Amino acid sequence: MVSPFDVLDVDEDADEAAIERAYRDRVKEAHPDQGGTVEEFQLVRRAYRELDDRDRNGEADDGTDPADIDLSDDEGEADAVQPVRVEFLDYAAIDDYGWSLDDDDLFRKASHADLDESAHGRLLVHPDESLLEAAENRGFAWPFSCRGGACANCAVYLVEGELSQPTDHIMPEELAERGFRLSCNGYPLSDDLKIVFNVKQLAELDDLILPPGPFTRR
């Protein structure tokens, strides 16, 4: 049996802060770019998701005690994490149309507007990709600069879903609570996400951005 606590190397009575610290350490170690494997990276992300559900809801998604959750499949291997579906919208379109970032009908309005596919669309984020990497790998050019969680050039606004933030040296707590995240090292934890990218032009982020970095299209 492989439990979420074993994967993150924390005690079963670990609090939210301890779990968050363990996750930040383990997800960096397990990333393929740092010598880890896709399988290990998937396992760490799923373990954190299970324990995060416990902290937010008092139990796992299905009501099971996280200590009793087995993250291995029938053959004893780590159960694979599937790609996450992301619907995205460019903040520039919101500004052009005079929409509100907090509008509950924002994505419905976007779907009825004649927007370019780069301004509103969908993409898949694979288990070993950050949100920014997934956008780049699917051919989109989203803003970024440092790629290390030290600026808000790559910031997105989370409308729906969960996006973890293993590294964040810049985002104030009040903005994080409102739903702002960094796409350069943000990893989806829910099956679906709705996000607004290119929010760096918002006034509240002015002091958190660096001079324009490169835009790439792959």
Lowest mean pLDDT among 8-22, 93-107, 139-153, 193-207: 8-22
pLDDT tens per residue across span 193-212? 999 999 999 999 999 998 76
Query: 216 pLDDT band (50/70/90 cuts)?
Result: very low
Across the chain, what does the average pLDDT equal?
Answer: 84
Look at the block and give the residue holding tokens 């363990």: 22
CA dihedral sign, ordered 136, 112, 159, 213: positive
The structural domains of the chain, ordered by start, are: 4-68 (1.10.287), 84-208 (3.10.20.30)
pLDDT tens per residue across span 54-107? 766 555 445 555 555 556 654 445 455 678 999 999 999 999 999 999 999 999
Report how far apart, in Å, the C-alpha atoms of 38 and of each of 32, 129, 140, 184 are.
Answer: 6, 10, 23, 18
Task: Work out the number of other CB atoms within 10 angstroms of the CB of residue 133.
Answer: 18
Give the residue with greater pLDDT, 2 vs 212: 2
| Angle between the N-to-C axes of helices 16-30 and 38-57, in degrees from 0 to 180, rounded to the nearest 10 | 170
Q: What percent of the chain has pLDDT over 90?
A: 47
Inter-residue contact 147 to 184 (CB < 8 Å): yes
* Size of the chain, expressed as the number of residues it contains: 218
What confidence score (pLDDT) does residue 35 get? 79
Inter-residue contact 145 to 153 (CB < 8 Å): yes
Q: What is the DSSP string of 171-211?
A: --HHHHHHTEEESSS-EE-SSEEEEEE-GGGSGGGGGG-PS
pTM for this prediction = 0.73
Report how far apart, in Å, the C-alpha atoms of 179 and of each of 40, 112, 173, 204 are.
Answer: 28, 25, 10, 13
What confidence score (pLDDT) does residue 28 get? 77
